[in-house]
Structure 1
Amino acid sequence: MRILTFLHSFEPGGVERIALRMVRQWRAQNVDALLFVGRREGDMLGDVGADLDFISPPGVGPGAAKMETLWMIRTLPKVVRRTRPDVLFCAGNTYAVVAVALKVLLGRRCPPVLLKVSNDLDRHDQPWWFRPFYRLWLRIQGRYLDHFVGMETPMADEIGQCLGVSSDRVTIIPDPALSRPLIERLRASRGAARAEGVGRRFVCVARLTPQKNIALMVRAFGRGARPDDTLTVIGDGPERAKLEQLTRDLGLEGRVTFAGYASEPAALLPSFDVLLLSSNYEGVPAVVLEALAAGLPIVATDCSRSMATLLGHGALGDLVPVGNEAALAEAIARVRPSSQDEHLSLAQARRFTIENASGAYLSVLSRLCASSVSRLPTEDRWDGQPA
């Protein structure tokens, strides 16, 4: 079985990081896992993407980064025709438009597509006038793509309702954001307990984009934190300058630090006391899983149907309404650094390992491949050799 995974670039992103790890894991299991990357750019090329062979189109122009989805739609069909994969792995919602375009452009020559639903499908943040078009787009995905993977149990109903697909086209595979060795390292490397009288050490790990709503977090921190508390924001993105200015405007310099990109942000979590997440929407945030592995209490917005299940319906963290600054500030004020249930958080983290997910994904992909081949006329079946 030949699997082709396609990504925009090596720019930091949770979907991309997990996809690169999955490709690496499949290759370690002797799976023929191809990787297409639209642009040879991004910080992850030097860490999680290091030494991974990949296909990239030649002659990428200076405007490719701004129109990378159109660039992929233009270049990827040729790669599919040349490499003849048995199945396509669409690593997240961001890439659904590329997958649908491939189905349209290649017709019956397009391999079956497995879409990992990586983000909230309800999207209550969208303006009312756009919602009918968005719902139509979801139904188009359900019409054209072959199978869907949700990352946590509540996503089964979410995918069925929003995409209009039957339950036999949906599989739940806990998001492979962790590995068994990573969990062991995080548990073993937890920093010294916070000294009495020293402020709580809050941490956020996110790309600095509107989706993550870090401005809400900074304002809520200013309202709810104690004078000796600190907040470290790990990550980079287009909103960094604006957020740094907001920090200055609120008089929080020295208490709120923007640390920039980190090659392995999970490794830094044991040095902190509490994870904050303020997103407008998410799927199953990898950083929440990493915080569970590190044993941190979590304060987060209720930004997807899966969040309550992830946090054990209140046993592993505190959820507040999306966009509610006052509620987030109150949760920040009351959280205790030592409040996490060690055994429950560890058990929850162990569900989300790449070792567990890899075989589950391969099983679904194999079924898709077998079903597709059985429907093809004899002259269209591939003998396993690239064209």
Structure 2
Amino acid sequence: MTFLHSFEPGGVERVALRLHEAWRAQGRDARLVMGRTAGAMKREWPDLNKGGLGYEILGSERIPSSGWETLWMIIHLPRAIRRIRPDVLFCAGNSYTIVAVMMRVLLGKACPPVVAKISNDLTRSDLPAPARPFYRLWLRIQGRMLDRLVGMAPPMRAEIGTLMGADNARIAVIDDPSLAEADIQRLAAARAEARAAPQAPGRRFIAIGRLAAQKNFGLLIDAFARMAGEHDRLAIIGEGAARRALEAQIERLGLADKVRLPGHVSPLDAELAAADALVLSSEYEGVPAVVAEALAAGLPVVATRCSVSMEDMLGGGRFGLLVPVGDAAALAGAMSDIAKLKFDETAARDQSRRFTVEIASHRYLALMEDLARA
């Protein structure tokens, strides 16, 4: 059983839906329970109940739950677990671990074993100093109460073991399935088509993610303002609560004709194909799906060192440039220099194949079957 709040766009949710869809296509009894049906990602799965995702809703949608969706799920999920009796619960990311831990508390021995994907950097250096001891304690609690912990790239194994106190036998590494092989082929074709068309002057940068503090798009806009030439352009694809602040910043810096915020866009093929580089300005990440998508599209990447896995994703510097978190000057410099990188588009696309659902869905199933037997 996989539990998700909604179809609101998010990397964790999109990957979970991909995995669920793959498990059902493989003939497995995979159940998906949702807190509510709202969200733009519904457009990506148009035939949700016609042999597709086959989901059900927790509680009644007549009661608005978006403002307290975690508590809503904690209240309603135990009843679904008792009724369906799944062999394993799949916790799709860090934002859902509080729900998984509460299922262990509320259901006790009746709670199925939990496989939890660790979807974000665990060091969280962005947290204020007074909050860090409590956060470290919370990680230890998760490490004790969740049965299997899955890192999304090899460097995460040591981080999980150290910060969550989990022994090596309970840690697995499965590369994050943010792509399908069909996506890679489609992105490559879109890139080839875009290159065959007449090219506008200037450089095109793209950033993708929720307009939220974690993504620090304000830093990106500041960096772009420092290095942008007359014809350079930046597109920040996504939606969220930070939109007004970002729009005000763009206006204040006189970038209204250079920076656009088109909102949630799906699919991203045309946007990625038209860009010269992806920029990731985040405070913290796990294994960002947008980086795998950029590599599949044949784009180099400029990123902050927002994750222990970032250097591994970028092939030790072969596919992009890394800068310190929160350093606008360094980010601007890397954006200026990215065109000088000796970038091998074919090798980058091969790197992206690590992150496919065709590989990960089978590895997750094997892990879950072993856990259910144990």
Q: TM-score higher than 0.5 here? A: yes
Q: Report what 1:328 is aligned to.
A: 331
Deviation digits for residues 295-319 of structure 1, max 9, x if unmatched?
A: 1011111101000111111111000
Distance 2:33 2:39 in 1: 14
**8 Å contact kept, 2:227–2:332:** yes
The partner residue of 2:373 within 366, 370, 374 is: 370
Give the aligned residue type for 2:165.
G
Q: Report what 2:248 is aligned to.
A: 245
**8 Å contact kept, 1:296–1:337:** no
State the Cα distance separating 1:226 from its structure 2 match: 1.5
The question of 1:118 aligning with 2:115 is answered no
Deviation digits for residues 209-232 of structure 1, max 9, x if unmatched?
A: 000000000010000122210001
Matches within 5 A, 1:159-308: 159-190=160-191, 191-192=194-195, 198-266=201-269, 268-308=271-311
Matches within 5 A, 1:151-166: 151-166=152-167
**8 Å contact kept, 1:88–1:111:** yes
State the Cα distance separating 1:10 from its structure 2 match: 0.7
Deviation digits for residues 130-187 of structure 1, max 9, x if unmatched?
A: 0000000000001111001111010000110111001110111111001111111111
The question of 1:29 aligning with 2:26 is answered yes
Q: Report what 2:5 is aligned to.
A: 8
TM-score by length of 2: 0.95
Matches within 5 A, 1:10-89: 10-48=7-45, 50-51=47-48, 52-60=53-61, 62-89=63-90
**8 Å contact kept, 1:44–1:50:** no
State the secondary structure of the residue aligned to 1:223.
helix
Gaps of 5+ in 1: 372-387
Q: Report what 1:97 is aligned to.
A: 98
**8 Å contact kept, 2:59–2:76:** no
**8 Å contact kept, 2:190–2:269:** no
Give the aligned residue type for 2:300.
P
State the secondary structure of the residue aligned to 1:153.
coil
State the secondary structure of the residue aligned to 1:135.
helix
State the Cα distance separating 1:341 from its structure 2 match: 1.2
Identify which range, 270-279 or 330-339, moves more after superposition. 330-339
Give the aligned residue type for 1:6.
F
Q: Report what 1:380 is aligned to.
A: none
Give the aligned residue type for 1:127.
P
Distance 2:279 2:113 in 1: 38
State the Cα distance separating 1:257 from its structure 2 match: 0.6
**8 Å contact kept, 1:201–1:229:** yes
State the Cα distance separating 1:347 from its structure 2 match: 1.9
Gaps of 5+ in 2: none
State the secondary structure of the residue aligned to 2:299.
coil
**8 Å contact kept, 2:318–2:342:** no
State the Cα distance separating 1:192 from its structure 2 match: 1.6
**8 Å contact kept, 2:278–2:299:** yes
Distance 1:266 1:37 in 2: 28
